[in-house]
Amino acid sequence: MKILVTGGAGFIGSHLVDALIKSGYEVVIVDDLSTGFKDNINPKAKFYNADICNERKIGSIFKNEKPDCVNHHAAQMDVRRSTREPIVDAKVNILGSIIMLQNSLKHNIKKFIYSSSGGASYGEPEYLPMDEKHPINPICEYGVSKHTVEHYLYLYNHNYGLNYVSLRYPNIYGPRQEPENEAGVVSIFVSRMLKGLRPVIFGDGDQKRDFVFVSDAAKANLLALRKCTNKCYNLGSGREISVQDVYQIIKGKLHSNLRPIYARERVGEISRCYFRYDKIRKDLGWKPKVPFEKGIDVVVGYWEKKLRK
């Protein structure tokens, strides 16, 4: 089976590509390398340097490769950029996704797996942990654009029969998450502190997040590929961790004395979130396996090796 993975040179997408190839799938990567890296590309995958908003080029790739399934990870994923440049955010995340969906219909794609957002889409919690029935009230443009595509998925399934699964991500962390391109607090803190730089905490550090290791996110995508249900699912750990606690855990791992710098809270960021994952556990058999502290050890090892080069 051939899988077309958009964003396959990026953080989560590249881990997914590795997992797909290890599981015996043939993989085609579409990535414009705006935030992805050639070094992340699995040599066993076929790579196209292409923008998902380029209708002609995307159509040509579908025609030439004839994939069986699409896994759509390419996105504008920076909350801060979405508030500064909402038109860019909407163009990539909404229009780019529609281009992928239109080509999926035209070329008889069997399944469409979509990487959505949990906290950014739900907005400030009305109750915790959040489940899939929680009201959708995003407070940033990124959350609006990512959730909008779920309406198109429902429409394309209802009207045209396109099968899909949408995975609503919490804070995914792990190796290959680049501080310059990602909003990942773990990689940002670890890389800065290993360089002897003080980490920056926006607000008072009491913001709480749900963290899932990248290999667990990749596993959810594999399970979604094997059983398409035409539903949206939360990923989560069922545990909330404050930004201040993230700092303290990393500080302990690094035996560091660096104190954080506190800066003004950023627009569009919610105060708390963590998620129930009962639905995906019941339907697809997914649950997180990597404890947060163990995942931190992996990220520290990755950055120690990278900074020695």
- Which residue has 């708390």 as its token pair? 272
Count Cβ atoms within 10 A of the Cβ of residue 305 and give its class: 0-12 exposed, 13-18 middle, 19 or more buried: exposed
What is the C-alpha to C-alpha distance for residues 305 and 309, in angstroms, rounded to an integer?
7
Please state the length of the chain: 309
In the annotation, is 142 catalytic?
yes
Neighbours of 243 (CB within 10 A): 20
Q: What are phi and psi of 209, to 5 degrees?
A: -135, 165
Distances from the Cα of 80 to the Cα of 114, 124, 269, angstroms: 22, 17, 9
Single out the catalytic residue among 142, 164, 173, 247: 142
Q: Which are the contacts of 63, defined by CB distance < 8 A and separation ≥ 6?
A: 107
Rounded to the nearest angstrom, the gap between the alpha carbon of residue 244 and the centroid of all alpha carbons in its chain is: 23
Work out the angle between the directed axes of helices 243-254 and 292-308 (0-180°, nearest 10): 60
Decide the pairing of beta strands 46-49 and 26-31: parallel
Nearest-angstrom CA–CA distance, 209 and 86? 24
Instruction: Decide if 138 contacts 144 (C-beta within 8 A).
Output: yes
Residues belonging to the active site: 142
